[in-house]
Structure formats: C-alpha cells, structure tokens
Amino acid sequence: MDVVYKALIAAVAAFAAVCFPYLLLAFLCRHRKHRLLLPRCSSSSSSSPPPRAMDAAAELSLSPSSSWSLYGGSSSALQKISLDDLSRATGGFSPDNIIGDGSFGFVYRAVLPGSGAAQPVAVKRLSADHGGGAGDREFRAELEVLGGLSHRHLARLLGFCAAGRDRVLVYELLERGSLDAWLHGAGAGAGAGDGDGEEEAMRLLPWAARVRVTRGAAAALAFLHHDRQPPVLHRDVKSSNVLLDEGFEAKLADFGHARVVSGGPAASHLSTQAAGTAGYMAPEIREGMGASVKADVYSFGVLMMETVTGRRPNWPMKNVSGKEVSLLKWAREKVEAGMSSEIADHRMGLIQGEKEAEEVKAFLDVAQSCTEECPRYRPSMQEVVEMLNRL
C-alpha cells in the first residue's frame, strides 16, 4: 500500500516538475495580453494567420542531446594549422598580442604566413582548463556550426588546431574590435588618441553607424534563423560578440554556444544548461525552458537598447522614483512617459525634431517588441530586418 502511495506521489511530482515551465510560459503570455499597449509584433501580423511551418519548426526547442550537425560539409575547406605555426604567429601566445578576453580564453592578433600575402588573423586559444570539457564543446560548436556558414555579416572561421589538450580557432581579423568596446570601452567618448582620421570621426559611434551595425547584426541573425534549415540558434547575442570590420560593418561572432535546432518540444525541459549572458538572457531561458529563436530575438532587443542608450544592459538604472530598475524597464518607463529622446546616448548629439530623433523613436519601438516578456509576442528576425529597413 505504502509503496503504491509513494509511487503515485513521485509520479505526480514528476509530472508537475515537467509541466511547470509550460504553465509559467502560458501565464506569462496570458498576463501580457491584459496590458493595454498592444505589441507591435501582433499588429504587424494583423489577422493572426496560422504560424508558418518554418516558424513553427524554429520555435521547437533544442534538444540537449541533439547530435552535432555539419552544414554543407564546407568545413573541409577549413585549414588545419599546427600549434607550432600558431605559436610562431602569435609570438609564443605573447600577452602583448592579446586583443580580447573571453570566458573560455584569450584572443590574439597574429599574422599567418600563407601562400601569397601574409594574412592578419585573430587566434582564439581555449583555455587548457577546459580541454575536453566546456572548452571542447565551445570548440566543436564553432567548428561545426560557424565552420559551415558563410554570410556577409558573420565573422569568418578560417582554421583550427586540436593538438593534445590545445584547442585553437583562427578567424579573419576584424580590425575595429567589438561593438562593446566602441560603446563602453576606455576610448569611447573620451580622448582616445592614436587612431586614424576615420577612427577619430567614429569615436562616438554616430547614430547612422549604430543603425548600420544593428542592421548588419539583424541580417546575420535572420540568416541563421530563416535561411538555414534546420535553423541555427546563436544563444549568446551581445555587444562583445558583434565585431566591426575595417569599414565598420557588423560581423556576428562567437558561435561557442550556438546550436542547430533539432528535436521536438518535448525535449525542451531537459535543456538544463542555460546559455547566455546576464542582462541579455530572455526570461524563459532564466526559467530553464530551453532555447528558441525567440530567445535570440530577445537578446537582440537588449543589444538594440544598449546600442541606442550607450548603457550596459546589466547595470541597474534609477527610475524617476529613485528605484533601481533594469535598463529595459527604465527605457520602457521613459518611452511610456513620452520622454524617448532622453534615452538616446547623449554623446551622439541628436537634436530633437530632426530625422535622426524620429529614427530613434522607431528604433526603440523595435527594441521593445523584441524584448516582450512572452516569446510569442516578439517579432521574428525577418520582421526585425524589415522594421529596421523602414526606419
């Protein structure tokens, strides 16, 4: 008897644990409907047609046990580079050549002696502590996802090296570094010195440049979500992963957390490792509900808010009542109070009433619909691209 009871209780508990995320999601979505402000995403698809097949597929959550997929087999075009060559190219992985610092290791500037002209590259060495563990996952994701992709707004992976415990990835060098550094770096807004004329003119990242970078990053994500079958989730969209080339064109980088969507919705609750970075993470990811394209859309919305305000998304802001709130909430309150012009990064020197200030308003609208709490109310990246083109 007792055993039967225990089994019954265990079964009910397990059922409840499995259902909880779905109930929460349902609650979030229902809750959202009662708000007065209609989300832009639902008004743009006015008579709410049934979701397109691809959207439905893309919304399927990611199976944590999904096997690794190779796209197009084009990773065979990737160069295998010896550790010796990489060591020589980076001056023995000299600290002097470090241009970036990620959670899995350092990124070095290097020159690879190729056939023909020597090529400047970025070399990412995954820390040995992670060899075989998390670092290996990151290595494989970069190789197997990014390695097979090619797009104007994706950072290009050129080669790799796996020797012993060492895992090294080689990318095209993106000369201007990350958007993060341009928005918040030591040189941003202050008297950075030694740059060339263009660098000087771009120091404050004028509005037009911010819009161009945002459009580029949106195009990259739309490509991953809509032009690949099955879709690719980036899962770590943030300003340090948007890199800028010589002409300040955006290139989405860091595919260490990226995954190819496969498996059905039933697998979603199994996804235990929530990928992403504080401040950019969609609420449903924080609740442990597995990734979807709409979680990328959320992070992208946060990135937009960061780009227009020039403020870090994980730093608390004070609202008019002196309460600490998130950047998103702060911005939402300002917009609702009709003070959107106050949000824009003042370093851009926008003048109210001018065309640019109007664009800021429209840009904020897009950012807000991307960061809707309920995933269903967020636009697709395709819609985001269209909205950004209409600014």
Ligand X SMILES: *[C@@H]1O[C@H](CO)[C@@H](O)[C@H](O)[C@H]1NC(C)=O
Ligand Y SMILES: Nc1ncnc2c1ncn2[C@@H]1O[C@H](COP(=O)(O)OP(=O)(O)OP(=O)(O)O)[C@@H](O)[C@H]1O
Q: Which residues are catalytic?
A: 236
Residue 220 and residue 298: Cα distance in Å, rounded? 15
H or E segment and range at residue 306: helix 293-309
In the complex, the smallest distance separating the C-beta of residue 331 from ligand X, rounded to whole angstroms, is 12
Q: Residue 180 in contact with residue 238, Cβ under 8 Å? A: yes
Task: Report the distance separating Cα 191 and Cα 9, nearest Å.
Answer: 66
Spatial distance between the Cα atoms of 76 and 53, rounded to a whole number of angstroms: 32
Binding-site string for ligand Y from residue 246 to residue 275, where x marks contact by CB under 6 A and - marks none: -------xx-x-------------------
Q: Which of 20, 64, 83, 102 forms a contact with ligand Y (CB under 6 A)? A: 102
Task: State both tokens at 39.
Answer: 């989300």
Confirm or reject binding of residue 243 to ligand Y (CB under 6 A). Answer: yes
Q: Please pick, from the candidates 104, 280, 298, 330, the single residue that binds ligand Y as defined by CB under 6 A.
A: 104
Site membership for ligand Y, residue 122 (CB under 6 A): yes
Looking at the Cβ atoms of 6 and 152, the one nearer to ligand Y is: 152
Q: Is 319 in the site for ligand X (CB under 6 A)?
A: yes
Q: Is residue 320 near ligand X by the rule CB under 6 A?
A: yes
Shortest spacing between CB 303 and ligand X, in angstroms: 23
Restricted to residues 193-232, the positions that interact with ligand Y (CB under 6 A) are none
CB 121 within 8 A of CB 158: yes
Torsion of CA 234, 240, 242, 244, to 10 degrees: -160
Radius of gyration of the chain (CA): 22
One residue of 55, 199, 249, 333 binding ligand X per CB under 6 A: 333
Q: Which of 111, 325, 362, 391 binds ligand X (CB under 6 A)?
A: 325
Residue indicated by tokens 């690719």: 232
Output the smallest distance, CB 371 to ligand X, in A.
16
Applying CB under 6 A, the span of 9-17, 167-175, 278-286, 322-330 interacting with ligand Y comes to 167-175
Q: Is 338 in the site for ligand X (CB under 6 A)?
A: no
| Cis bond upstream, residue 120 (ω within 30) | no
Mention every residue, 6+ apart, whose C-beta is less than 8 A from residue 182.
176, 188, 202, 205, 244
Q: Binding-site residues for ATP, please?
A: 124
* Site membership for ligand Y, residue 100 (CB under 6 A): yes
Which one-letter amino acid corresponds to residue 337? A
Minimum distance, C-beta of residue 334 to ligand X, in the bound complex (Å): 9
Q: Which two tokens stand for residue 82?
A: 């010896």
**Going by C-beta distance under 8 Å and a sequence separation of 6 or more, which residues neighbour residue 73?**
148
Site membership for ligand X, residue 341 (CB under 6 A): no
Detail the residues annotated as belonging to a binding site: 124
Minimum gap (Å) between residue 238 Cβ and ligand X: 24
End-to-end alpha carbon distance in the chain:
68
Which residues are near ligand Y by CB under 6 A?
99-104, 107, 122, 124, 155, 171, 173-174, 177-178, 236, 240-241, 243, 253-254, 256
Which residues are near ligand X by CB under 6 A?
319-321, 323, 325, 333
